[in-house]
Chain A
């Protein structure tokens, strides 16, 4: 019995149980559920349990696109239930494996349907199709499913809501956890369909839907009549259940979260684990196209503000693009791609060749530009197309009601990407249009005058602007850890002439890195496939911990103090000053 119940769709809530920003507490077959409707109307059905300390998420808080646990503030994204932020580690991106368990949801007949492992679709009830239905008040009963169904089969009710005028009732069908009764009185008919939700071995919820919806005062009368009759039925069933055998509560299996271990795979270079379809492609600004990518098959993994993906292009090139949408916003990734004048075929391919409906291979999102959400104020500084990751951040900060400004440096109005998003962000956006390099420096100097404690700056834009920001921030005495940069590409001329030795502490292997080859390439040649993305020292994906030796940094990802500390190295461009490096691989 239980096994087949696991494969059925069950109503777990009514649509009216999910008002704005409310988190409904439900239960099905012993498993507690947190059910909430996001601002995009998506109904989330999740395990009612924070992955951190097991606290019920139904006492959490929804900000519309993310749900925040009440205990330590872990945040989970709409739709995917992936963790987007852990307040105790504000500077880090949560591992992708931290994802709560989700269950499917379908709305039908004013009810929310879900299940453990349901097959097919929720039942279609002929009497309720294309009918003006009326949802009865649901009645929770402390009794097992079958006992409730048995009593419901003999349920009598009045068509008019007058309790002294009960009608003759006949059963239309009984099937699984549902049955339908039609009452006839004075030539009038009314059908009620009952769905009984198996909450636990000894608890059920009766959810009734009437196939007709009386108007005016009769509506309330009808609702009151059924509420009273069903409450009476409940009292009888509960008394009977007390005499029945005592049943052990059902035990729902709780899945363990896989521990995030570094990926060691066959050396095949950069991986494209996901297939997406171009849902929409449009010109969002002068020389910039917007692309919306939708998953083929499985829903897309959760992304965090600041994250990027590798796009594997039809012409064989691999390019990195930041995601511009906020986590929880739709089951899609939105990119902004600028046509580069000196394009080596990447942006030109996306602009000219790729069209709506095309299928692309992309990597899972990675976040090497994570956003802290504990700053008293956050300043986002965008230069041109560098606005893309900052748009995701701005929308997240806005949704979380955190104080921020987005300073957008661009040539003209026409060069502003995603104007509709900028419009939504409203007064938090400050435009700086048509400034010369000197004027830009002046504006940045004004912006960065006087560092404030617990204020954080995120900058993304062309190399010269980032260099200017770095210099100005350093002159204004901003601490390195308060300024976060994202480069499009490496601005440093990489010198690969040195040769040295790398010892891999965990692999007990020593390898020779000859001039002209990178550490990453040597590792790959020897069967160790590190994750990588841009492979030019800008994105931070191929970072490795240095145990011993002095790195020769040639990347733009690490800041000056991190480079000086010498504890991390970007294996795609950086090398060694010392004859030997010991790496934590």
Chain B
């Protein structure tokens, strides 16, 4: 079984828990006392990850660190549909990589602001917030135009990809870091859609959402 060096309030660990839950992959969580114990910075933990951060997974002896790398690994290995990491489609895989890099940006701004406010990290909080808003504006426009084309996800396919899983937690917890989402209605609608993916699990600070529109069986669109 996959072991994950895990912390319940970590955005990056949640990305893996969410992906494994959606892919229905059983895992064992090894809790790390991230705050206030700083266990991930301990000499002992640096033997597991010399960079001193979580998550790290141990899949039957295969060790991997870095949240977005782990998402690529999990989807490649455990998604038989090949939709979450669409390697057989050059355009889509390019987009996925592009938005995974975008997710590095949201992690380093929106989620950094949250680490500063909630978990004792020292960052330039105003720079983090301004950076998050810059990225959210780009994502808002992008997702609004996706909706205009009757598409719902970050990449241009009809199914969500690991890019959605990589960006979603940074966005949905942004208010904890003082980054309001009131100016991003398309972004808020997209978070509803992610929450409706079968297998979705919440974490503290993320709440379930109302149902999706039931599919009409009477031949007529349930508009």
A and B from one complex:
yes
Evaluate contact between A13 and B207: CB separation under 8 angstroms: no
Are A21 and B181 touching (Cβ within 8 A)? no
Interface size class of B (residues with CB under 8 A): 20 to 34
Q: Which of A48-71 contact B (CB under 8 A)?
A: 59, 61-64, 70
Residues of B within 8 A of A220 (CB): 145, 148-149
User: Is B69 an interface position by the 8 A CB rule?
Assistant: no
Cβ-neighbour of A17 out of B185, B210, B213 (below 8 A): B185
Check A223–B148 contact: CB distance below 8 A.
Answer: yes
Contact between B181 and A61, CB atoms less than 8 A apart: no
The answer, yes or no, to whether B183 is at the interface (CB within 8 Å) is yes
Residues of A within 8 A of B144 (CB): 137, 227
Main secondary structure of the interface of A (DSSP, over half): mixed
Interface hits, A189-241 → B, CB 8 Å: 203, 205, 220, 223-224, 227, 231
Chain A residues in 8 Å Cβ range of B145: 137, 220, 223-224, 227
**B209 beta carbon closer than 8 Å to chain A:** yes
Query: Does A282 reach chain B (CB closer than 8 Å)?
Result: no
> In the bound complex, do residue A22 and residue B192 qualify as a contact, i.e. CB atoms below 8 Å apart?
yes
Contact at A27–B211, with CB atoms within 8 Å? no
Which of A61, A203, A223, A227 interacts with B210 by CB under 8 Å?
A61
Beta-carbon contact of B207 and A24 below 8 Å:
no
Given contacts A224-B145, A227-B141, contact A22 B181 (CB under 8 A): no
Q: Which residues B130-160 have CB closer than 8 A to chain A?
A: 141, 144-145, 147-149
Give A50 Cβ to nearest chain B Cβ, in Å: 13
Contact residues in B for A203 (Cβ distance below 8 Å): 183
Chain B positions within 8 Å of A26 at CB level: 182
Q: CB within 8 A of B182: which of A22, A27, A63, A224?
A: A27
Contact B141 A70 (CB under 8 A): no
| B26 adjacent to chain A (CB < 8 Å) | no
Interface: A522 (CB within 8 A): no
Contact between B188 and A70 (Cβ–Cβ < 8 Å)? no
Collect the chain A residues with CB atoms within 8 Å of residue B207's CB.
Answer: 59, 61, 70
The complex places the Cα of A227 from the Cα of B147 at a distance, in Å, of 14
With a cutoff of 8 Å between Cβ atoms, the chain A residues found around residue B185 in the complex are: 13, 17, 24-25, 138
B residues near A17, Cβ cutoff 8 Å = 185, 189
The answer to whether B148 touches A22 (Cβ under 8 A) is no
Question: Are B188 and A20 in contact, with the CB atoms below 8 A?
Answer: no
Question: Is B1 close to A, CB under 8 A?
Answer: no
- Majority SS at the chain B contact face: loop
**Docked-complex contact A61 and B141, CB < 8 angstroms:** no
Q: Determine whether the beta carbon of B209 is less than 8 Å from that of A61.
A: yes
Q: Once bound together, how far apart are the Cα atoms of A342 and B183, in whole Å? A: 64
> What's the Cα separation between A22 and B207 when bound, in Å?
13
Q: Is the CB of A140 closer than 8 A to any CB of chain B?
A: yes
Indicate if B212 sits at the interface (CB-CB under 8 A): yes
A64 to B222, CA, bound (A): 15
Count of CB-CB pairs between chains A and B under 8 Å: 57
Q: List, in ascending order, chain A residues with CB within 8 A of B212's CB.
A: 20-21
What's the Cα separation between A26 and B181 when bound, in Å?
Answer: 10
- CB nearest to B180 among chain A residues: A25
Is residue A450 within 8 Å, beta carbon to beta carbon, of the partner chain?
Answer: no
B191 to chain A, nearest CB (A): 10
Q: Is A19 an interface residue (CB 8 A)?
A: yes
Instruction: Look across to chain B and name the residue whose beta carbon is closest to the beta carbon of A21.
Output: B210
B208 at the A interface (CB under 8 A): yes
- A22 in contact with B210 (CB, 8 Å): yes
Q: Which chain B residues lie closer than 8 Å to A61 at the CB level?
A: 207-210
Taking CB atoms, residues of chain B closer than 8 Å to A63 are 210-211
- In the assembly, what is the distance between CA of A26 and CA of B183, in Å? 8
Residue of A nearest to B192 (CB): A22
A140 to B183, CA, bound (A): 6
Q: Report the interface size for chain A: residues with CB under 8 A from the other chain.
A: 29
Which residues of chain B have C-beta atoms less than 8 A from A23's C-beta? 210
Q: Given the complex of chains A and B, what is the CA–CA distance between A24 and B144 in angstroms? A: 15
Given contacts A25-B182, A61-B207, A61-B210, whether A231 and B141 have CB atoms under 8 Å apart is yes
**Shortest distance from the beta carbon of A523 to any chain B beta carbon, whole Å:** 47
Q: Chain A: which residue is nearest B138 at the CB level?
A: A231
Query: What sequence of 0s and 1s flags, for each residue 121-155 of chain A, a beta carbon within 8 Å of any chain B beta carbon?
Result: 00000000000000001101000000000000000
Chain A residues near B147: list those with CB within 8 A. 16
Interchain nearest-CB distance for A425 vs B (Å): 16
Nearest-CB distance from A137 to chain B (Å)?
Answer: 5
Contact of A24 with B141 in the complex, beta carbons under 8 Å = no
**A residues in contact with B192, CB < 8 Å:** 19, 21-22
Task: Bits for B200-223, please: 1 = Cβ < 8 Å to A, else 0.
Answer: 000000011111110000000000
Q: B17 to nearest A CB, angstroms?
A: 21
Min CB distance, A15 to chain B, in Å?
Answer: 12
Interface residues of B in 176-204 (CB under 8 A from A): 181-185, 188-189, 192
Chain B 43-74 residues near chain A, CB threshold 8 A: none
Q: Which of B181, B182, B188, B209 has the most CB of A within 10 A?
A: B182
Chain B: CB-nearest residue to A223: B148
Which residues of B are found within 8 Å of A140, using beta-carbon distances?
Answer: 183-184
CA–CA, A21 and B207, complex, Å: 14
User: Are the C-beta atoms of B148 and A19 separated by less than 8 Å?
Assistant: no
CA distance A140 to B181 in the complex (A): 11
Q: A19 and B189: CB pair below 8 A?
A: yes
A70 and B147 CA atoms in complex are apart in Å by 27
What chain B residues lie within 8 Å of A70 (beta carbons)?
Answer: 207
| Chain B residues in 8 Å Cβ range of A32 | 182
Q: How far is the CB of A102 from chain B (nearest CB, A)?
A: 20
Q: Specify which chain A residues have a CB less than 8 angstroms from the CB of B210 in the assembled complex.
A: 20-23, 61-64
Min CB distance A426 to B, Å, is: 13
Report how far A17 CA is from B143 CA in the complex, Å: 13
CA distance A23 to B195 in the complex (A): 14
Docked complex Cα distance between A424 and B148 (Å): 34
**Residue from A22, A137, A224, A231 in contact with B189 in the complex, judged by beta carbons closer than 8 Å:** A22
Name the residue of chain A whose CB is nearest to the CB of B185: A17
Q: Is the CB of B213 within 8 A of A20?
A: yes
A residues lining the B interface (CB < 8 Å): 13, 16-17, 19-27, 32, 59, 61-64, 70, 137-138, 140, 203, 205, 220, 223-224, 227, 231
Known: A17-B189, A21-B213; 15 extra A-B contacts, CB below 8 A, are A20-B212, A21-B192, A21-B212, A22-B189, A22-B192, A23-B210, A24-B185, A59-B207, A61-B209, A61-B210, A70-B207, A140-B184, A205-B183, A223-B148, A227-B144
> Which 3 A/B pairs are nearest by Cβ-Cβ distance?
A21-B210, A140-B183, A20-B213
